[in-house]
Amino acid sequence: MTLGQKIAWDDSVLPFQLDRSDMRGRVARLDGVLDGILKQHAYPPQVEALIAEMALMTALIGQTIKLRWKLSLQVQSKGPVRMIATDYFAPEAEDEPARIRAYASFDKSRITDAPPYSQIGEGYFAVLIDQGQGSAPYQGITPLAGGSLSTCAESYFAQSEQLPTRFALSFGKSTEAGGSEHWRAGGIMLQHMPKASPFATGGGSGDSGLLTPSDVLDEDSEENWNRVNTLLSTVEDLELIGPLVTPADLLVRLFHEEGPRVFDMQPVRFGCTCSEERVRNSLSIYSSRDIEKMTTDDGIVTADCQFCGAHYRLDPATLGFEADQDDES
């Protein structure tokens, strides 16, 4: 089997639980989803790698949210990569796939040949959950720290949720037998099950004084955490990417003594929610004078979706709140 072949467990998330150590987790494999995300833009390789890592984490984290909810991860930075944004749309129904989209904003003139994370400067990592109409969205923020996007996410869960969390991720370009390349990613997320009152006091032992998993675990839980993390550290990149090892077989290989139990696999697809109606709604707050400033020499207003690359061409006479008022009269 070559790395480029479509595999049954591609673009899926498998949730599991380790009964002996009181932990839960997910295994994710992304293939076509990354193609759908990255082919929309001509990203430099360093930016592609950051988006691949962020999309993989989004799939791993997003599997836990409820039907019809939306999870968003964001990185805001003063570095060459100014922003990375990902969205995970939970399934509309039990038998439907989840959808993921992502994009990055960057200053091309500042991108260097240095490793991907070095393209990110001082900033913050944010998690947002939209529970739908009638509910206030949740937002949690933590400073960027630790040397990778996955360690930023681990710091977020320790700091904001006081949930010990560990990611093991692998991503990169694979080559088909015919010579074409495409991105592929795989990873495991581990979380210790929450205790009744998981409160930590004082500063943490992590970068910039942030909390780490050890800061929010009691002695017995820390022993389990360390044992399972030692097992996870034996995983190989090729096992994570998964062309030859199924997610379930990988869990048995790593954690057979921890009593792993798997649940229903969640398929994920590339998907975007943009539409002409949404574009019109976003422009409905502007006056006719504002719309005139947005109008091109060809007499149209254009809008592009950063996530999927869709291009919209609209008649300026039908846009803005004044146009809405005319429609109602």
- Measure the CA–CA gap between 292 and 216, rounded to whole angstroms: 55
Strand 165-175 to 138-143 pairing: unpaired
Query: What does the pLDDT read at residue 197?
Result: 42
CATH 3.90.1280 corresponds to the domain 276-328: yes
Strand 266-270 to 98-106 pairing: parallel
Query: What does the pLDDT read at residue 302?
Result: 86
Query: What does the pLDDT read at residue 244?
Result: 83
Query: What does the pLDDT read at residue 220?
Result: 77
In tens digits, the chain (329 residues) has pLDDT values of: 344 456 778 999 999 999 999 999 999 999 989 988 998 888 999 999 999 999 999 999 999 999 899 999 999 999 999 999 999 999 999 889 999 999 999 999 999 999 999 999 999 999 999 998 888 889 999 999 889 999 999 999 988 888 999 999 999 987 766 667 788 999 999 999 876 444 444 556 667 666 666 666 777 788 999 999 999 999 999 999 877 889 999 999 999 999 999 999 999 999 888 778 888 888 888 888 888 888 988 888 888 878 877 788 888 888 877 665 555 54
Query: What does the pLDDT read at residue 205?
Result: 61
Determine if the pTM surpasses 0.75. Answer: yes
For residue 21, which amino acid is it?
A: S
Query: What does the pLDDT read at residue 12?
Result: 96
Domain(s) of CATH 3.90.1280: residues in the chain: 276-328
The set of residues, in sequence order, having a beta carbon less than 8 Å from that of 197 and lying 6+ positions away, is none
Which superfamily is assigned to 12-270 in CATH? Hsp33 domain (3.55.30.10)
Query: What does the pLDDT read at residue 6?
Result: 61
Helices (H), the chain: 32-38, 45-62, 149-156, 219-232, 237-241, 247-255, 276-283, 288-294, 321-328
Domain(s) of CATH 3.55.30.10: residues in the chain: 12-270
Query: What does the pLDDT read at residue 322?
Result: 67
CB 164 within 8 A of CB 18: no
CB 60 within 8 A of CB 127: no
Helix (H) / strand (E) element for 270: namely: strand 266-270
Burial of 262: CB neighbours in 10 Å, binned 0-12, 13-18, 19+: middle
Query: What does the pLDDT read at residue 193?
Result: 83
Query: What does the pLDDT read at residue 274?
Result: 79
